[in-house]
Every structure is written in structure tokens, then in C-alpha cells.
Amino acid sequence: MSRPSLSLLIVVALLGAGITAADALPVHTSTAGTTATTADVVGASAICPDLRQDRDVLRTRVSAGVAVAAQGVTGTGRLLAQPLAAHGAPARLPVDRPGQVAVDLGSTLTGDALEVTARGPLAAGLELEQVTRGEGGSSRGLAGLRCEAPKTQAWFVGGSTQVGDSLTLVMANPDDTPALADVVVWTSDGPADTRPGRGIVIPPRKRAAFPLDQIAPDKEWLSVHVVVQRGRVAAAIRHARLDGKTPKGVEWVPQAQPPATTVVVPGLPQGPGRRILSVTNPGLDPTIVSLHLTTPDGQYVPTGMDALEVPAGTTLATELAPLTDKAPATVTVVSDGGPVIAGAFVYDLQDGPIREISYAGSAQPLSGPALLTDLVIDRPTESTLFLTALGAAATVDVTPVAIVGRDGPLPPSKRVTVPGGRMTLVKLSTFLPPGATGRLAVEVRPAPGSAPVYAARYLREHGSRGPLTTMLVLQGAAQRVPVPAVRRDPEVAVSR
């Protein structure tokens, strides 16, 4: 073989061998940056918007608790409470480890709004609840509220600004810089003028109360969107209704889920009165919605509710009372068009002219353990836990939780199975011996591997002059959050 041909062969052989070897080279993965994972929440705060106490007439209870994390975060920490306007060092709450609840906090605290912050092990699973009980006048009734973390957006469905209704948006700014918020309101007549609600300033560590009749006077079935342009606020809406001098109820409008094409409102209670579902279409195009009810007996679409038109920017109010007369129901709103928000208004009555209102908010399935920190078990009061499984059957553990300062053995926990497409009611008084009274705190935790389940609590007291009701949707505090992969990449500063 000639020299050139030989060298040609050698080069070709070298190339072939080189390619094979190169493909076999281990590919170096960059060690820069982090990988995606999940992590425990290490800091949390919540603000209860209104701590009003008025001796015998008005009493506000605040309760706080920390759920035991699914991953079993242990260790002790501090829960610090500080009224917004107050200066000086924050007060320390008695809760110092997960799985504890402290009740009746409001009586020892003064100020208009209370900020509770948790760091470290106590942050994952912090839940705060306030219940105000008024005995007369425009405050007569029970008004309960899950104290929310400060956020940059909040949606509310419910409220009215007609004669006799007083609807107040309360915004608390926990930060040291002023917050700036816009308030957008939709009503059953369409969107309200947006100008009055624009650029509301909440001073640093202050609370601002804003009457919503300034934006939408004399309207029914309001929906409110609070958009914080700068800073973060904890927003809440208080609805009080008075007919002349007759109290017609008081309630906090719960925060709703952001617009979605499927919205679940868990737990419209059974009973007399009105049950009105509000569906608001915040979009620019009309949409058709259908309402699906899930009851303890099954799921169905009520006649005439399979195709309801919701015009753009308008709230559609639908009376569900005849359907809930016999059984409670969870409502699923499905929109064919754009996303909607929804909530329900419960108008309760008893003998006599006095009425009571409560709101059922929209919900996500339970994300983890959720706490009910303030349960009063006594004769006239009945607390009911509504559990709804929309799809497959779900299993839920309801476990009593230790209340700080109240010793004694805890009642055993209960495992509740919710059949698929059914709603199950759990009377919380059954945790105590029949006839016993007392305070109770429970943790509601979906069993591992359980199908999604929606939970709400309905509290109804057969008052001497009329009913006292309030509702609470259970979500479960965020305990573990996804952490994205990050990498330092100088290109981000120059790419388009």
C-alpha cells in the first residue's frame, strides 16, 4: 500500500475512533446554580384587621395556631404579635411549637389591627382566626374571619351598598413604607366607576378603612378586586346590615379565589333563609356558566342552571334556597368562557325580625393540615365541618389540637371518609362527650394519598333573639413551597 493511501486509512481510522471516544466522554453538568426542589416556609405573617372590643356589647376573639407540618418540622420558635400602630417590642404569643393553639388573644391586645409573625419552625402552618361577637345594633351577630397574610391582590365576592347596608373595606399595611392600592368594583348592574377607588394610600403600619359606597353607591351583589400597586396589604371587607333599628346581621366577606373557569364554593348550609350564589365575570366578554351542586346524596345540576349568562363586568346572583332547604350543598361553578369569581351569601333567620348573614367563600382543596382554632362547644352553638369530595372518595383525619393553658387529655382523632361526589358533615360537638361544653381546636388533614377534598366550617348559634352564624373556608396554610432552580447567568442582563 502506498504511503498516501496508508495515511488516509490511518486518518479515517483515527477520526472514527475519536468520534466513538468523544461520544463516550462523560458530559459535564454545570455545578453552578441550584436545582428545583421544595422547601419549608421559614417566615409567615398574618393580620387580623379589626380587634374591636366594646365591653359587653362587642367581643373579639383572636386565636392562633401552628399546624404540624406534613414533613414533620420540629423545633421551637417564637410567635410575635404586634398591633399595627403600636411602637416598641412585639408581644410574644404563648405558642412555641407546632401543634399548639392559643385562644382568646384579642382580649389582651389593644389596637385596631394585629400583625402576627412567625419565623423558623413556627412559620410553616401558621393560622390565625378572629371571631367577633356583637350583642346589639349594627354589630349584632357573629363575624368570623381567617386573618390573611399581606398580599398584593385580593378578590372578594359579596356585599351590598343599599340603604341599611354598610360595607367597609379595611386595608392594613404592615410594611414601613406607604402602600398604594386600587379598588375595582363590579355589581349586578355592571362595573362601577373605577375613579374613586384609585390610588388609595395606606400609611406605613397603619390601617385604612374605605366605605365601598363611595365607589358603588346603592348597589347589590358587589365583587371587589383590590390591586396593590406598591407595597402589600391585608384586605378585608366588613358587611353590616341594619333595617331601621333591627339588626339584620354582620359578617366579614371572605377573600375569594382569583378568577378561574372552575370555582368551588364549599358548604352552603341547610336551613331556612336565603342562599344566594354570586358569580362575577371580571372579563371583557360575556360568559355562560353552569352550576353543579354536590350534596350528601350526590351531584346534580339544578334545572335552569346549566346555562346562565353572566355579562361582562357583571355579577349574576342566583337564589339557591329552595335547593338547600333540605340538604347542604357545595356549589361548583363552571364557566364556558373566561374565568369568573364566585361566592355565596347566606341569610339566616329564626323566629323574630332579627336576621344574620354569613358568606361562603370559594376554595381550593385542602393543601395540607388546616386548623380550626376557635371552636366553642356549648348547648346553643353547633359547629359543623363540611367536607366535599368532588371526584374520587377522600379520607380526612380530624384531630383535636392542644390549646395552650388548657391541660387534660385530648379527645381521640377521627378519620372521616368522604364518598366520591358526595358531601359529608361532621358535627364537631361529637368530639366531646354528649352534653359537655368547652373549647376545642382541631386539625383537619387529608390522609396521605387522599383525593382532593374541600372543607368549610359553619358555626350557628341559636341565639336568644335570633341566629348567630359565621362560615369559614379551610385551606391549610402553606407549609412547603416549590423552590425553582436558579443559576447566575450574566446573559440575563443583556438578552432581550
Among all chains, which residue has been given the C-alpha cell 374541600? Answer: 454
- Does 22 participate in binding other proteins (rule CB under 8 A)? yes
Q: Among residues 7, 76, 194, 430, which is the contact residue for other proteins, using CB under 8 A? A: 7
- Does 98 participate in binding other proteins (rule CB under 8 A)? no
Q: How far is the CB of 240 from other proteins (least distance, A)?
A: 30
- Does 1 participate in binding other proteins (rule CB under 8 A)? no
Give CA–CA dist 435/84, Å, rounded.
Answer: 41
Phi/psi at 424 (5° precision): -125, 140
- Does 364 participate in binding other proteins (rule CB under 8 A)? no
Q: Among residues 54, 96, 104, 175, which is the contact residue for other proteins, using CB under 8 A? A: 175
> Which triple of cell numbers denotes residue 101?
393553639
Phi/psi at 472 (5° precision): -145, 130
Binding region for other proteins (CB under 8 A) out of 360-368, 400-408, 428-436, 478-486: 478-486
* Cα radius of gyration rounded to whole Å, the chain: 27
Q: Among residues 15, 209, 392, 436, which is the contact residue for other proteins, using CB under 8 A? A: 15
Q: Among residues 1, 4, 408, 434, which is the contact residue for other proteins, using CB under 8 A? A: 4
- Does 41 participate in binding other proteins (rule CB under 8 A)? yes
Q: How far is the CB of 362 from other proteins (least distance, A)?
A: 18
Nearest CB to other proteins, comparing residues 73 and 216: 73
Q: Among residues 92, 326, 406, 487, which is the contact residue for other proteins, using CB under 8 A? A: 487
DSSP 8-state code for residue 207:
E
Total site size for other proteins, rule CB under 8 A: 69
Residue 275, number of CB atoms within 10 A of its CB: 25
Nearest CB to other proteins, comparing residues 29 and 464: 29
Q: Do 360 and 459 meet the contact criterion of CB atoms below 8 Å apart?
A: no
- Does 23 participate in binding other proteins (rule CB under 8 A)? yes
Residue 131, CB-side half-sphere exposure with 13 Å CA sphere: 22
Nearest CB to other proteins, comparing residues 218 and 489: 489
Phi/psi at 124 (5° precision): -80, 105
Q: Among residues 133, 140, 232, 241, which is the contact residue for other proteins, using CB under 8 A? A: 232
Q: Among residues 13, 39, 307, 436, which is the contact residue for other proteins, using CB under 8 A? A: 39
Q: Among residues 58, 410, 447, 478, which is the contact residue for other proteins, using CB under 8 A? A: 478
- Does 496 participate in binding other proteins (rule CB under 8 A)? yes
Residue from 188, 315, 240, 187 nearest 197 by CA:
187
- How far, CA to CA in Å, does 434 sit from each of 202, 442, 473? 49, 18, 26
Residue from 284, 323, 286 nearest 302 by CA:
323
Binding region for other proteins (CB under 8 A) out of 131-139, 226-234, 282-290, 359-367: 226-234
Binding region for other proteins (CB under 8 A) out of 173-181, 280-288, 322-330, 397-405: 173-181
Give CA–CA dist 72/362, Å, rounded.
Answer: 29
- Does 484 participate in binding other proteins (rule CB under 8 A)? yes
Give CA–CA dist 434/439, Å, rounded.
Answer: 14
Pairing relationship of beta strands 262-268 and 274-280 according to DSSP bridges: unpaired
Phi/psi at 123 (5° precision): -75, -35
Looking only at residues 130 through 159 of this chain, which bind other proteins when binding is defined by CB under 8 A?
149-153
Binding region for other proteins (CB under 8 A) out of 9-17, 216-224, 349-357, 387-395: 9-17
Pairing relationship of beta strands 79-83 and 91-93 according to DSSP bridges: antiparallel
Residues in Cβ contact with 242 at an 8 Å cutoff, skipping those fewer than 6 apart: 137, 138, 164, 166, 248
Q: Among residues 8, 209, 392, 436, which is the contact residue for other proteins, using CB under 8 A? A: 8
Nearest CB to other proteins, comparing residues 32 and 284: 32
DSSP H helical ranges for 252-410: 321-324
Residues that bind other proteins (CB under 8 A): 2-5, 7-8, 11-12, 14-15, 18-23, 25-30, 32-34, 36, 39-45, 80, 89-90, 119, 123, 149-153, 174-177, 228-232, 478, 481-496
